[in-house]
Amino acid sequence: MHPFHLAFPVRDLAEARLFYGDLLGCPEGRSSPEWIDFNLYGHQVVAHLSPDETGSAATNAVDGDNVPVRHFGVVLPMDEWDALAEKLRAAGQRFIIEPHIRFKGEVGEQATMFFLDPSGNALEFKAFRDLASLFAK
């Protein structure tokens, strides 16, 4: 799989370093006074200082949850997803959608959790028992 690149706005780079670097464990790459590269499970995500563009309020209903329309994240193996959920709980991270199984018993059954970074960017981490069902209809 090829690494994905995503740039997103943050209100404060020091907060972004603590959240993405310390909490999520993303190694930091290059940086400047305006941006920081992070390695998010092999993908390049770049926090750009742009306080006026942060936050998002729009949601769509998905299997009974109000899912933030703007979000990003990673599909993890189930054991890594479980470990991340426990790490976040232990750190006191607030979830906007608690870790749970979505689409139980259906095609596409998946573990999912949503939380916000300090700038209001929504992140979703998910896992499938069978990764082949990632794109199943």
CATH number at residue 113: 3.10.180.10
Domain co-membership, 65 together with 35: no
Question: How sure is the predictor about 132, in pLDDT bands with cuts at 50, 70 and 90?
Answer: confident
Domain co-membership, 47 together with 63: no
Domain co-membership, 41 together with 93: no
Report CA-CA distances (Å) from 114 to 49, 73, 102, 124. 23, 9, 12, 5
Question: How sure is the predictor about 135, in pLDDT bands with cuts at 50, 70 and 90?
Answer: confident
Domain co-membership, 77 together with 47: no
Domain co-membership, 10 together with 64: no
Domain co-membership, 47 together with 68: no
Question: How sure is the predictor about 78, in pLDDT bands with cuts at 50, 70 and 90?
Answer: very high
- Torsion 28-29-33-34 (CA) sign: negative
Domain co-membership, 38 together with 78: no
**pLDDT tens track for 22-39:** 999 999 999 999 999 999
Strands 28-31 and 35-40: antiparallel
Domain co-membership, 67 together with 117: yes
Number of domains within the chain? 2
Domain co-membership, 38 together with 67: no
Give the integer Cα–Cα distance in Å for 134 and 120: 27
Domain co-membership, 80 together with 47: no
Residue 38: which domain range?
Answer: 5-51
Specify the 3-state DSSP secondary structure of 87: helix
- What pTM value is reported for the model? 0.92
Give the integer Cα–Cα distance in Å for 41 and 77: 12
Structure-model confidence comparison of residues 107 and 72, the more confident one: 72
